Amino acid sequence: MNVPLRRPYISGAFPEGNEVREIRSPWDGRVVARVSQAGPGEAAGALAAAFAARRAGQALPAGRRRELCEGVANGIRERAEELARSICDEAGKPIAIARAEVKRAIATFTLAAAEATRFAGKVVPIDLDPATVGYEAITRRVPAGVVVAISPFNFPLNLGAHKVAPALAVGSPVIWKPPPQAPSAACILAEIVHGLGVPDGLFQVVPCGNEVAEILATDRRVAILSFTGSAPVGWALKAKSGRAKVVLELGGNAAAIVCADANLAWAARRCAHGGMVYAGQVCIAVQRIYVEASVYEAFRETLRAEVDALKVGDPSREDTVVGPVIDEGHAKRIESWIDEAKWGGATVHGGGRRGSFVLPTILEKVPSNARITCEEVFGPVILLEPFDDFDAVLGAVNESQYGLQAGVFTDSLARTRKAWRELEVGGVIVNDYPTFRQDNMPYGGVKASGLGREGLSYAMEDYTEPRVLVLSGRA
């Protein structure tokens, strides 16, 4: 097999970088890519180039920014299978799900292109007293400055796209630090952008380790730090980020509430998929399911049947839904959390570990203080618990330190409104799993789950500042 060598993309060029890192498949351990790592010198060069590109980015007309985003979308479309295979090989994502991610990235840049044509300021009425009659105020959105984007392995293309696309759409220079486990998608995107003739420094890709990433994230020239990843790392970077505006999309412990009036077959099917797809390595994967007591046993058996029907195995197979977790260390951690719950009295359905594989697991009667109850498992594990009182179950969901999204399966409009009003989350999904996301919707969390919102127009707001023009009514 010819293993590609990927390089950083800095100031319009592909330098050799420093040491070469081998990227291994979580499925079988084979080397699937080699990536030249950027060191402190390359990071300094990228920061200088991005800072110097601010005026060129701000000067790009809306039509050119639209063309760039459309060009990236077309480039992804042309290299879609190559991108999907790299995601499958490096991140262990089942190939059908990897292809779906690539399609989403195309949509993300297409949406950004559309937003570039309508993203604007507004007229502010300031003729509020006799002294200001005839005065006008108009705002425009201007790029805030250099964006540093850090993204994780589980969506190695589209989570980066959600940071890069809005930056290009507003003309902000962006430096993307891709995930070390799955960097090739970002490197391929750099090749696509390079062919579009963007100003040097407007878009750069810097594969690197944690120490170099911290240099990027904490430099005083950085105006925006957009980070997706674990909560401890995200909050630690925020504490070191100085004056930069920080957007954090962090962990979750997503809950679904299944009421007795819901379509139980649909709820079980969606929760099984939402909890187990891609081995649960999604920050809005279904981790907790609260089921109304009168239908608890019926739902549990339906859920178990749906989970058992999911295809587990080689991620390169078209029908695989559950592949390996990212590495054996993660698998061992998940296994230890399941064991802790079992020792605390939990009932375990399914499960087991083989290398980097954790088989789908359903837990009942899990202690409330178990790590798998309180923290993000990021694995194919679902916790089941019955409830009698809807108010009480809303409180149980809110006890989590996280607040990304929640799902509520019910036909009751009153319960829907109550959940929307009282659940401490960034989004409430009704009659579908909390794993639902469309790329133009506002997406983000509260509490330990993050700050700010992604979704194209919402990120574009974060990446820009309003600048007001006041026109005097005086001659």
Which pLDDT does position 474 carry in this prediction?
A: 78
Q: Rg of the Cα trace of the chain?
A: 23
For the record, the structure tokens of 151 come out as: 């993204």
Which pLDDT does position 311 carry in this prediction?
A: 98
Q: Which residues are catalytic?
A: 249
Q: What is the pLDDT of residues 178-226, one digit of tens each?
A: 999 999 999 999 999 999 999 999 999 999 999 999 999 999 999 999 9
- 163 membership: H or E segment, kind and range: helix 158-170
Residue 199 DSSP one-character state: P
Q: What is the pLDDT of residues 73-127, one digit of tens each?
A: 999 999 999 999 999 999 999 999 999 999 999 999 999 999 999 999 999 999 9
Q: What is the pLDDT of residues 17-73, one digit of tens each?
A: 789 999 999 999 999 999 999 999 999 999 999 999 999 999 999 999 999 999 999
- The rounded distance, in Å, linking the Cα atoms of 2 and 7 is 16
**Burial status of residue 438 (CB atoms within 10 A of its CB: 0-12, 13-18, 19 or more):** exposed
Q: What is the pLDDT of residues 318-353, one digit of tens each?
A: 999 999 999 999 999 999 999 999 999 999 999 999
Q: What rounded mean pLDDT belongs to the chain?
A: 97
Q: Please name the residues in contact with 356: beta carbons below 8 A apart, sequence gap of 6 or more.
A: 26, 27, 92, 324, 325, 326, 327, 328, 330, 331
Which pLDDT does position 134 carry in this prediction?
A: 93
Start-to-end CA distance of the chain, whole Å, equals: 75
Quick one: which of 293, 292, 291, 288 has its CA closest to 397? 288
- The rounded distance, in Å, linking the Cα atoms of 9 and 6 is 9
Q: What are phi and psi of 405, to 5 degrees?
A: -145, 160
What domains does the chain contain, in order, with CATH numbers?
5-250+450-469 (3.40.605.10), 254-438 (3.40.309.10)
Which pLDDT does position 1 carry in this prediction?
A: 64
Instruction: Tell me how far CA of residue 88 lies from CA of 110, 164, 470, in angstroms.
Output: 23, 22, 53
- The rounded distance, in Å, linking the Cα atoms of 113 and 106 is 11
